[in-house]
Amino acid sequence: MSLKRVEDYFIGRFTAMAGPCEILVDTDSPPRGERALELARQEARRIERKFSRYLPDSEVGRINGSQGQPVRVDEETAHLLDYAATCYEVSEGLFDITSGVLRRAWKFDGSDRVPAEATVAGLLPYVGWGRVAWGDRTLALPAGMEIDLGGIGKEYAVDRAASLIAAEIPDAFVVNFGGDLYASGPRRGGRPWNIGVDDPERTGDATIAAIPLTRGGLATSGDARRYILYRGKRLGHILNPKTGWPVEGAPRSVTVIAPTCVEAGTLSTLAYLRGPGAREFLEAEGAQFRIA
Amino acid sequence: MQLDAPERPRAVRAKLRTATCLLLTAVAPRFAHAADPPAPPVPASPPTSQIDLTGLFYSERIRVLEPTMRYTRTYSSGRSFFGQVSVDSVTGASPNGTLPTGRTQTVTSASGRSRSVSANSIPTVNFSDTRIALDGEWQQPVKMFAFSLGGHFSHEKDYQSEGVTGRVAIDLNHKLTTLSLGGGYNNDVVSPVGGTSVGMAPYGELTGAASNPKHVKTALVGVSQVLSRKWLVGVSASLSSEDGYLTDPYKALSIIDATTGIPLAQVSEQRPDTRQRRSVQGDSVYHFTSNILYLSYRRYWDDWGIGSHTIDARYRLPVTSAAFVEPHVRFYTQTAADFYRFGLVQGAPLPQYATSDYRMAGLQSVTLGATIGFAPGGRRRTSEWTVRAEYVGQFGDSSPPGTVGVQTRIDLFPAVNVFSMVVNYRFNR
Amino acid sequence: MKNHQRRRLRSVVALILCSGAAGCATVKPWDRDLLAKPEMQFVTCAQLHAIDEHVYFSKEASLGGSSLAGGGCGCN
Amino acid sequence: MIEREFGARLRTATFALFLASVLFPAAAHPAPRATAQAVAPAIDLPTDDGRIKPADLAGKVVYVDFFASWCGPCKVSFPWLKTMHEQYAAKGLVIVAINVDKDRGDARQFISHFSPPFLIGYDPRGKTAEAFHVEGMPSSFLISPNGTLLYSHVGFDLKDAAKIEAQIQRALSQ
C-alpha cells in the first residue's frame, strides 16, 4: 500500500481482487488521501473476502459447497444475486454467474491450447442460472454447479468504496479497481479526470484514447489481459454460457460510461457478449461508449 | 467518438439502472462510525434577482413617456423585496372644463402661459410636468400567513404623495382558499401652480393657500378560492375614504347665457371635501387545455353619485413554450357625479359644488389591445419581453340635456382616442 | 337604497364563496400543476397592472378593486 | 317582505357555514392522517422503463419524497436529497423520489437538471400520493425496515433539513 503525490493530487495503490487498485484524490491534505486509500482498501478487502470463490467460508464458497442444499444468504449477497438475476434476464441468458465452471476447461494464458469439444459439452449441463432456484433470500444450487460473482463484484466494490469515501472526504476522487472505475466529481477548478483507455495490443504499455470523466462509472470489457490464440484468432476470456466457447467476433475492448461503475461494467460485458453486435447494442441503448 | 451521445436510457439500461440503484443502496455492514456526522449543509439557493424595465408611450391630447425600473429580489425562504423608480414626463393639453364659445377665447394655463383656442373646440390648458415616483414592498411568508408592507412616495411640482400599505394573506383549507386583508394610508399635498382657486368664484380668484392637504384611507378584504385544477376565482371588496382638497385646481366651469348659450364667464370648480368609495370585484382565471381566460368584473359606487361597471377579459394563447399572445378587451361605464354640470346658466343661483370635468360626466370607455410576450432564452426564462399595444376610446353625451343656443351645435363630448404602447423587458439572475 | 345594495352584495359574495366550498379539497396537492404556473393569477404582471391602474385612474372616476391603490397623483 | 327577510337570513347562515368550513377545514373534512405507527402504503411504480416493487424496498429504511417539476421548494430539496443519498446510502438508506407530474417530459427536464443518484418513480395520476395522504408539495415520509411510517414532513425549507436528517439517522441506527 502506498500513497504518493503526483502534481496536485495524491495517488494511492494497493493490490486486491487479483489486480492493481488505485485511488486518486484531488487534495493537498495527505491525511485525507490516506483516509480515502484506507477506506478503499478496507472495502475492497471486505468484498473480496466475502465473495471470493476461492475461500470456502465466503458467501460464494458456502453456496458453491452446498451440494444441492438450499442456502440462506445475507442481505448484501441477496442484493447481488438479485442483480445477477436481472442481468441474466435482460441479456437473455448471456450474462450468467454460473458460467464459471467452464473455466475448468479453458485456460486463458496466451497459449493456443483449446479444450476438447467433449470437455466443454460435458460442462454445459452445469451452467445456467435458469436451473437455480432463487427466492426469499434462499438459493438452491444443483450439485456440481457453481456461481461466481467476479463479473459484478469488482464494479460493486468500486461503487461501494466510492460511496464510503464520498461520505467522509469532501475532495474529488477516482476509485480504480483493475480498470473499473468511478469518478466522484470535477477536480478543483472544474477540471475533469483524464482516463486513458488501455491499448489491447500493447496492454499496460500504451493507451489508445483519453476520456475526460467528471462524474460517473467507467468500465472496460475485452481480451486485453487474458486471451487464448486459436487458429490465429485471439479468443477473449469471456465465455458464452450457451455454447461454452469464448465469444467470437467481439471487439478488442468495449468501454462504457454510466452513472455508476456497476452499470458501466454490466453494459460493457453485455455488449461484449453480443460479439459483433456490440456496437449496435450500445447504440440502441443510447449508451456512452468507446469500442476498439 | 461516441462519448458525446446524449444519455437516453433504453430498455436494458433502464432496467439495469433500477437494479443498480437498489443494489448500491442495499444494507451493508455498518462501519465503525461512532455517530454519523451530519451531512455538510446544502448551501441555500442564492436569492434571485429580477429587473424590469418598462416604457409607456401614450398619446392623446397628452403625451406621456413613463420609464420605470423595478428591482425584485426573492430569497429561497420566500421572502421578497421590490423597489421601483418611475418617471412620468407629461406634456400636452388637458381640457380645462370650460365650453367652446363660437368665438376665440383666452385660456390661462397651469404654467402661467396663455393660448388662444379655435371657436368650436374644447378649451384646454397646456401643461408640462415631470413626476418622480418611488415604490417599495417587502413580503414575508410565515407559515400560513404572508405579510407585506409597502411604501410609496411621489413628487411632481404641484402634487406630492406619501403612502404606506400593509397586507396579510392567510392560506386556509390546504391552500385552496386565501383570505386577504389590507389597508393603506396616503398623505398627499396639492400645491396648485399659481395658487389655489376659490371654488365657485371667478376663475383666477385665489384662497391664498399655497398647499392643500388630502388624505386617503383604504381597506380591502378579499377571498380567492381554487374551484378545480383549472379554475381560480376571487372576490374582493374595498372601501376608501378621502378627505381634504379633492378639487381639481385647474378646472373651471363656464357660465353661459340662458338663451344664446354663449359663455360669459368662468368660475373655478368646487368638489366636496370628502368622498367615500366602495367597490366589489370578482375575478376568475380558467385554464383551458393550454389557453387561459381571465375575466374580471368590478362594481363601483361613491357618495358623489358615481357608479360604474367594469368588465375586463383577457385570453392568453401560448404560441410556443416561450411565447404567448394575449388579446384584451375592457368595457367601462360610469354615471355622472351628482354635481356634474356641462356649464352653469347665468342668473340661476350658483350650486355649492359643481364640476364640468369630463371624467365626472357619464361616460363609457372601450379598450381593445393585445399583449405579446416572449422569452428569447426559451424555457429557462432568463429574459422576457412583453409588448402591449392598446387603444382606449372614451365616449360621452355630445349634447347633454339642457344645452342651449350655440352649445347645441357643438360636440360637447368629443370622443377621446388614446393609443398606448408598453414595452417591458425583464431579466432574471 | 344603500341597504339594498349591501344586501345584494352580501348574497353575491356568499354565492361565490359557497360554490367554492363545494369545490373544497377537490384539488389534491399533486394536482396543482396548472395552478402553480405564474400565469394562473388574477394579475400576471404587476408592472403592466400598475400602469393600467394609473392610466384608468387618470381617465375615469372609479378606483379600487382588488388592489390597494398605490400612490395618488395630480393627474385628475 | 317576510319571505325576503327569511331569504336574507338563510343566505347569512349559508355564508357562516361556509366560513366555518374554510376556517376549520379539519372539522369539515376529517382527513385521515398518517400516524406514527401507521403502516406505510406500498410503493409499486414505474421508473424510467423499469419498476420499483414493494419487495425491493422491504426490510430497508426508505425515505420517500413526493415532488413535482412545478413545485418551488422541490428545487431546493433535490440538492439536499443528493447529499442525503451520498451520506447515508452506504449506511442502508434508500431514497425513492416519486414524481407526480402529469407530463413525463416536464418531469424529465426537472430530473435531468439534477441528475439524482437515487430512485425515481413516476406517479402521474397521484395514486401513491393519495395512498400516502400527501398534504402538500413536496412531502416526505420515512419508513422503517418493517414498513411502519416513522416520520413525515410537508414542504421543504433548508431550516428543516437538520431535523429531517436527525430522523434519518435515528431510523438507520434502530
- From the list A46, A170, A290, which residue is nearest B3 (CB)? A290
* Mean pLDDT within A198-207: 68
Catalogue all structural domains in chain A, each as residue range(s) with its CATH number: 1-52+149-188 (3.10.520.10)
* Mean pLDDT within A42-55: 88
User: Is B42 inside a domain boundary?
Assistant: no
- From the list D59, D87, D117, which residue is nearest A167 (CB)? D87
Confidence of residue B168 (pLDDT cuts 50, 70, 90): very high
The confidence score (pLDDT) of residue B242 equals: 95
Q: Do A75 and D86 touch (CB under 8 A)?
A: no
Report CA Rg, chain A. 19
The confidence score (pLDDT) of residue B138 equals: 95
User: Is B95 inside a domain boundary?
Assistant: yes
Nearest to D130 by CA among D21, D34, D28: D34
User: Is B2 inside a domain boundary?
Assistant: no
For an interface test with D, the pick among C30, C32, C37, C39 (most D C-beta atoms closer than 10 Å) comes out as C30
The confidence score (pLDDT) of residue B123 equals: 66
Residue B44 in grid coordinates? 441555500
The pLDDT of residue A208 is above 70 = yes
Q: Do A164 and D59 touch (CB under 8 A)?
A: no
* Mean pLDDT within C48-69: 79
The set of residues, in sequence order, having a beta carbon less than 8 Å from that of D129 and lying 6+ positions away, is C28, C29, C30, D66, D98, D100, D123, D139
Strand partners, B317: B325
Dist. CA A236–CA A217, nearest whole Å: 23
* Mean pLDDT within A173-200: 85
Q: Do C25 and D29 touch (CB under 8 A)?
A: yes
> β-strand B252-256 against B344-345: which pairing, if any?
parallel
Residue A73 in grid coordinates? 444468504
The confidence score (pLDDT) of residue D122 equals: 95
- H or E element, residue A65: none
pLDDT digits (tens, 9 = 90+) for A216-253: 889 988 765 566 666 666 666 778 888 888 887 788 88
Partners of residue A164 in chain D, C-beta under 8 Å = 90
Partners of residue A259 in chain D, C-beta under 8 Å = 115, 117
The minimum CA-CA distance between B41 and chain A, rounded to whole Å, is 12
Asked if D150 and D143 touch (Cβ cutoff 8 Å), the reply is yes
Dist. CA C54–CA B217, nearest whole Å: 18
Closest alpha carbon within chain D to B17: D50
* Mean pLDDT within B364-389: 86
D11 in the Ramachandran plot: left (φ > 0), alpha (ψ -120 to 50) or beta?
Answer: alpha
**Low-confidence winner among A58-67, A224-233, B310-319 (lowest mean pLDDT):** A224-233
Global ipTM: 0.62
Alpha-carbon distance values, A260 to A19, A264, B23, D24, D141 (Å): 20, 6, 11, 50, 26
Which chains reach chain B with 3 or more Cβ–Cβ distances below 8 angstroms? Answer: A, C, D
The confidence score (pLDDT) of residue B39 equals: 57
Q: Would the CA dihedral through C46, C47, C53, C56 be positive or negative?
A: negative
How many CA atoms lie less than 13 Å away from A38 in the CB half-sphere?
9
Residue B255 in grid coordinates? 357660465
Dist. CA D63–CA D75, nearest whole Å: 17
Between B264 and A256, the more confident residue is: A256
- From the list D15, D71, D129, which residue is nearest C17 (CB)? D15
Which chains reach chain D with 3 or more Cβ–Cβ distances below 8 angstroms? Answer: A, B, C
Share of chain D above pLDDT 90, in %: 39
* Mean pLDDT within A256-282: 89
* Mean pLDDT within B395-402: 86
pLDDT digits (tens, 9 = 90+) for D92-101: 899 999 999 9
* Mean pLDDT within A250-260: 86
The confidence score (pLDDT) of residue D56 equals: 84
Asked if A76 and B16 touch (Cβ cutoff 8 Å), the reply is no
Q: Do A286 and B5 touch (CB under 8 A)?
A: yes
Q: Do B154 and C32 touch (CB under 8 A)?
A: no
- H or E element, residue D140: strand D139-143
- From the list C14, C30, C32, which residue is nearest D66 (CB)? C30
pLDDT digits (tens, 9 = 90+) for A135-156: 888 999 898 899 988 888 999 9
The confidence score (pLDDT) of residue C7 equals: 60
Nearest to B298 by CA among D22, C48, C12, C41: C12
User: Is B40 inside a domain boundary?
Assistant: no
Closest alpha carbon within chain B to D26: B173
Asked if A235 and A244 touch (Cβ cutoff 8 Å), the reply is no
Residue-averaged pLDDT of chain B: 83
Asked if D135 and B11 touch (Cβ cutoff 8 Å), the reply is no
pLDDT digits (tens, 9 = 90+) for D99-130: 999 999 889 888 888 878 889 999 999 999 99
Chain A residues contacting B via beta carbons under 8 Å: 46, 75-76, 79-80, 82-83, 86-87, 89-91, 156, 159-160, 163-164, 170, 211, 257-260, 262-263, 266-267, 270, 282-291
Residue B142 in grid coordinates? 410565515
* Mean pLDDT within A169-187: 88
Instruction: Count Cβ atoms within 10 A of the Cβ of residue B55 and give its class: 0-12 exposed, 13-18 middle, 19 or more buried.
Output: middle
Dist. CA B1–CA A99, nearest whole Å: 33
- From the list B15, B76, B174, which residue is nearest D76 (CB)? B76
Q: What are phi and psi of B74, to 5 degrees?
A: -120, 130
The set of residues, in sequence order, having a beta carbon less than 8 Å from that of B97 and lying 6+ positions away, is B248, B251, B252, B253, B254, B269, B355, B356, B357, B358
The confidence score (pLDDT) of residue D152 equals: 92
Between C19 and B307, the more confident residue is: B307
**Low-confidence winner among A91-95, B200-204, B333-337, B352-356 (lowest mean pLDDT):** B200-204
The minimum CA-CA distance between C11 and chain D, rounded to whole Å, is 6
For chain D, positions 77-136, list CB contacts with chain C under 8 A.
Answer: 100-102, 106, 123, 126, 129-130, 134-136
User: Is B117 inside a domain boundary?
Assistant: yes
- From the list A83, A288, A291, which residue is nearest B7 (CB)? A288
* 3-class SS letters over B85-116: EEEEEEEEEEECCCCCCCCCEEEECCCCCEEE
Nearest to A52 by CA among A87, A104, A13, A16: A16
User: Is B358 inside a domain boundary?
Assistant: yes
Share of chain B above pLDDT 70, in %: 82
Report CA Rg, chain D. 20
Residue D33: strand, helix, or coil = coil
Nearest to D141 by CA among D154, D160, D123, D122: D154
* Mean pLDDT within C17-44: 75
Residue D133 in grid coordinates? 395522504
Residue-averaged pLDDT of chain C: 70
For chain D, positions 73-112, list CB contacts with chain A under 8 A.
Answer: 86-91
**Low-confidence winner among A69-78, B63-72, D69-78, D149-158 (lowest mean pLDDT):** B63-72
Q: Do A290 and B10 touch (CB under 8 A)?
A: no
**Residue B81: how many other CB atoms lie within 10 Å:** 16
The confidence score (pLDDT) of residue B60 equals: 66
Alpha-carbon distance values, B263 to B97, B251, C3, D35 (Å): 12, 15, 42, 83
The confidence score (pLDDT) of residue B102 equals: 53
For an interface test with D, the pick among A163, A173, A257, A263 (most D C-beta atoms closer than 10 Å) comes out as A163
Dist. CA B402–CA B415, nearest whole Å: 20
The confidence score (pLDDT) of residue A184 equals: 87
Confidence of residue A285 (pLDDT cuts 50, 70, 90): confident
For an interface test with D, the pick among B10, B15, B21, B172 (most D C-beta atoms closer than 10 Å) comes out as B21
To the nearest 10 degrees (0 to 180), the angle between helices B11-24 and A150-166 is: 60
- Identify the top-confidence range among B1-15, B168-182, B272-286, D155-169: B272-286
Q: Do D25 and C24 touch (CB under 8 A)?
A: yes
B-D contacts at Cβ under 8 angstroms: 91
Nearest to B196 by CA among B213, B171, B221, B220: B213
| CATH number for B298 | 2.40.160.40
Strand partners, A193: A213
Q: How many domains is chain B built from?
A: 1
- From the list C20, C40, C51, which residue is nearest B177 (CB)? C20
User: Residues, chain A, total?
Assistant: 292
The minimum CA-CA distance between A109 and chain B, rounded to whole Å, is 32
Between B320 and B310, the more confident residue is: B310
The minimum CA-CA distance between B375 and chain A, rounded to whole Å, is 30
Partners of residue B386 in chain C, C-beta under 8 Å = 45, 48
Q: Do A286 and B10 touch (CB under 8 A)?
A: yes
Partners of residue D87 in chain A, C-beta under 8 Å = 167
For an interface test with D, the pick among B12, B42, B170, B287 (most D C-beta atoms closer than 10 Å) comes out as B42
Residue that the C-alpha cell 386577504 belongs to = B180
Q: Would the CA dihedral through D112, D117, D123, D129 be positive or negative?
A: negative
Asked if B424 and B70 touch (Cβ cutoff 8 Å), the reply is no
The set of residues, in sequence order, having a beta carbon less than 8 Å from that of B195 and lying 6+ positions away, is B206, B207, B208, B209, B210
| Per-residue burial over B335-359, b = 16 or more CB atoms within 10 Å of its CB, e = otherwise | bbbebbbbbbeeeeeeeebbbbbbb
Confidence of residue B126 (pLDDT cuts 50, 70, 90): low
How many CA atoms lie less than 13 Å away from B28 in the CB half-sphere?
23
The set of residues, in sequence order, having a beta carbon less than 8 Å from that of B307 and lying 6+ positions away, is B299, B300, B301, B334, B335
Q: Do B22 and A257 touch (CB under 8 A)?
A: no
Residue A254: strand, helix, or coil = strand
Asked if C12 and C18 touch (Cβ cutoff 8 Å), the reply is no
The minimum CA-CA distance between D93 and chain B, rounded to whole Å, is 6
Instruction: Count Cβ atoms within 10 A of the Cβ of residue D65 and give its class: 0-12 exposed, 13-18 middle, 19 or more buried.
Output: buried
Nearest to A256 by CA among A222, A209, A219: A219
The pLDDT of residue A8 is above 80 = yes
Q: What are phi and psi of B140, to 5 degrees?
A: -140, 115
* Mean pLDDT within A111-125: 79
The minimum CA-CA distance between D160 and chain C, rounded to whole Å, is 20
The minimum CA-CA distance between B285 and chain C, rounded to whole Å, is 6
- From the list D8, D15, D137, which residue is nearest C30 (CB)? D137
Dist. CA A173–CA A214, nearest whole Å: 10
* Mean pLDDT within D76-82: 89
Dist. CA B58–CA B369, nearest whole Å: 13
* Mean pLDDT within A114-121: 79
Domain hosting residue B77, numbered range: 7-32+47-428
Which chains reach chain C with 3 or more Cβ–Cβ distances below 8 angstroms? Answer: B, D
Between D38 and C72, the more confident residue is: D38
CA of residue B174 relative to chain centroid, distance? 31
**Low-confidence winner among A9-18, B11-20, B162-171 (lowest mean pLDDT):** B11-20
In this complex, whether A and D touch, counting 3 or more CB pairs under 8 angstroms, is: yes
The pLDDT of residue D161 is above 70 = yes
For chain D, positions 12-71, list CB contacts with chain A under 8 A.
Answer: 59
